[in-house]
Every structure is written in C-alpha cells, then in structure tokens.
Amino acid sequence: MKLSLQQFNHLAPADATSLLLTCCTSTAWATELVSHRPFTDIDNLLTHSDNAWQQAQSNEANLLEAFDGHPQIGNVDSLKEKYRDTQDSAAHEQSGANDAEDEVIAALAQGNQDYLDKFGFIFIVFATGKSAQQMLDLLLARIPNNHATELANAAAEQNKITRLRLQKLLGAA
C-alpha cells in the first residue's frame, strides 16, 4: 500500500500507527512518530523518524520489539530462494559456484542461529543489494561483538531498514 504524505498526515492516529508498524514494529517509535504529524515533506518525516528511533533505543525492550518484526534467516530453503537471483546475475560465475553458494547459504543459516543463541535476538542488517556472501561476511564480523555493541549495531541497521520502508510506503523510493 502506497500513500501520499498528505494522505498519511490525514489518517486517524490509530490507522497511522498501524501503518507505521508495517515499517518498524516498535510501538514506542510508531506512537512517537504519529504524534509529530503533519509532516511537511519526506525529509521532515525521516528526521522525526530518526529522532523517534533515538528515543526508542533508550529501552532495550523497544529494540527487541522492533527486531521481532523481522523473520529469522535460518531456513536453508528460504535462504536459497532469497539469494537465487544473485547467482543468476553473476555472469562470471563458474559451474562449481552452485556448490559454493549452497555452502554459503548453509553457513549463513548456522551463523544466524549462533547469533540468536549468543545475543538473544536475530541478526539485523540492511540487506538491500547484498549477496549471501556479503551477508555472511557481515554476520561473521559482528558475531564476536559484546551484547551492548551488537545491540547498537542492530539498532542502526534497523533504522536504515525503517527509513527505506517509510520511503517506499510514501512513494519516495
């Protein structure tokens, strides 16, 4: 569903909140953002979104609520489906790459489970435009972090995801 910013500004508060929760499942973020309507333009909305997210981060429960809105990448079959187009777009790929891709996908599934076991929340990353190998590299680079560092990393990635979803929702992306 795409709306104009003007349409969004005129929604009932409950409807606007419900719509925002499709972009980020933090109730504190959505409620705070709705309270700042009307927005003059998409940049004004994004600035208020960033500020609302900054406030929401003061409570770990708000972050976990937002992270829970993402599916866990842990099923090998769903990972193969997600990254199937990546191998098609790589013209230089050789015939043996399919086996390597399966290995990457299996490693990504295992890494996601290891991450969840260590931190208690799923691996959050702005995935747009990233291959399975890039995702695995990011996951492996972040898994040695301590809880506080990784919570901050995941929160920053969540904000990038939310900003893109808002832009798509309002036809600005």
Which of 34, 66, 27, 28 lies closest to 48 in space, CA to CA? 34
Q: Residue written as tokens 């599916």?
A: 71
**Cα distance between residue 106 and residue 88, in whole Å:** 19
The yes-or-no answer on residue 70 being catalytic is yes
Identity of the amino acid at 43: D
Give the other-Cβ count within 10 Å of 107's Cβ: 16
Eight-class DSSP state of 157: H
Q: Please, what sign has the CA dihedral across residues 150, 151, 156, 161? A: positive
**Cα distance between residue 38 and residue 65, in whole Å:** 26
**Cα distance between residue 69 and residue 112, in whole Å:** 16
Which of 48, 70, 92, 147 does the annotation list as catalytic?
Answer: 70
Instruction: Tell me which residues are annotated as active site.
Output: 70
